[in-house]
Amino acid sequence: MKENKKIEIIKAYDETKDNVENIKASNMCGCYTCLNIFEASKVKAYVDNSAVCPYCGEQSLIPDVDIELTDDFLLLVNKFWI
Ligand SMILES: [Zn+2]
């Protein structure tokens, strides 16, 4: 794996934590557990300042504020962390 891809994956993981502000500033967000990409306005629950996925209940939502969300990228994050 290319080093810059790895950095992006680690950054994406970091952005799933303490991300209330970023989720609220996003149009879309993506979950690296269930791989859904959906409107950030669908997020209704936060635990410890981290957004909870409305589909799978995990705190693994990546905001699109400074990460381009694609199915391929979510799958990479999923394979790296799960
Ligand atoms: Zn999910």
User: What are the tens digits of pLDDT across the range 5-20?
Assistant: 999 999 999 999 999 9
In the chain, where the domains are located: 3-81
The reported pLDDT for the residue numbered 21 is 97
For ligand 1, the distance from its centroid to the CA atom of residue 27, given in whole angstroms, is 17
The reported pLDDT for the residue numbered 2 is 85
Say if residue 66's pLDDT is above 90.
no
**Helix 71-81 vs helix 3-14: crossing angle, to nearest 10:** 80
For ligand 1, the distance from its centroid to the CA atom of residue 55, given in whole angstroms, is 5
Q: Do residues 61 and 43 lie in contact, with contact meaning Cβ atoms separated by under 8 Å?
A: yes
For ligand 1, the distance from its centroid to the CA atom of residue 67, given in whole angstroms, is 17
55: three-class secondary structure by DSSP? coil
**pLDDT digit string, tens, across residues 9-59:** 999 999 999 999 999 999 999 999 999 999 999 999 999 999 999 999 999
Looking from the CA of 67 toward its CB, the CA atoms found within 13 Å total 29
For ligand 1, the distance from its centroid to the CA atom of residue 11, given in whole angstroms, is 18
